[in-house]
Amino acid sequence: MNPRQAHPGMDIWVRFIAGEGEGTEERESLASHLESCSRCTKDTEFLQNLQRARRVPKWVAPPTELSSAARRRPQGATLPPAPTQPRNVRWAPADVRGGVSTASASRMVSRMFPQAELGIVAIPPEASGEWRIEGRVWLREADARAIQVLLVHDDHVIASTEVFDGGYFELEDVVGSGWSLELHLPTGETLRLEDPDA
């Protein structure tokens, strides 16, 4: 792939990560591009983390009816509530006060807001006790200004970073259950993603 060509799309990287096209010239070209392109390296790392999160033994795919309804709805429309399903594994960030973490698997969460879309992978703590939250933000209306991303617990900012439209972010810190992720948009609006199990 020469420098003047556009970056490969996410669908191409998904197939690449899955090992499709082993031994082909196209795959070799993609591998070469990946070695020299930090943007595509970030894309593939993010996709690999998403795949790991999906391979967790207790992964529960959304019901077919809900997925079909989501595809038929206009972008930004509110979806009907998901049917209740029992959850066998509790997912929660480490409880700093109690010193106990019952979480053992990564969790993928995505949300569509009228102003933006957010996708995250929350990776549970290992020896360090720190959770790692990786994500990507897409604004509905393009804006070249930075988006502030805050990891918040109660009224305390635990970690923060800045990201631009379509960009990746990573937050790493010790945090207890009841955390939330806040996106402070360039327009002044604030979007909030709550700990799903709080």
pLDDT tens digits for range 103-156: 556 778 888 888 998 888 887 777 666 778 889 999 988 889 999 999 888 778
Query: Residue 93 — pLDDT band, cuts 50, 70, 90?
Result: very low
Average pLDDT score over residue span 42-58: 76
Convert 13-70 into a string of H (helix), E (strand) and C (coil). HHHHHCCCCCCCHHHHHHHHHHHHCHHHHHHHHHHHHHHHHHCCCCCCCCCHHHHHHH
- Please report the beta strands in 66-106, taking only residues with DSSP state E, as ranges in sequence order: none
Q: What is the pLDDT of residue 84?
A: 52
Residue range 173-191, pLDDT digits in tens: 877 667 788 999 999 999 8
Residue 198 near residue 120 (C-beta atoms within 8 A): no
Whether 12 has a pLDDT exceeding 90, the answer reads no
Domains, the chain, ranges and CATH? 10-54 (no CATH), 90-194 (2.60.40)
User: How crowded is residue 64: how many other Cβ atoms within 10 Å of its Cβ?
Assistant: 8
- The pLDDT assigned to 98 comes to 34
Task: Quote the CA–CA distance of 106 and 26 in Å, as a whole number.
Answer: 32
Give the per-residue SS3 of 157-194.
Answer: EEEEEEECCCCEEEEEECCCCCEEEEEECCCCCEEEEE
Q: Is the pLDDT score of 96 beyond 80?
A: no
Residue range 42-71: average pLDDT? 73
pLDDT digits (tens, 9 = 90+) for 13-44: 888 888 888 888 888 888 888 888 888 888 88
Q: What is the DSSP letter of 95?
A: B
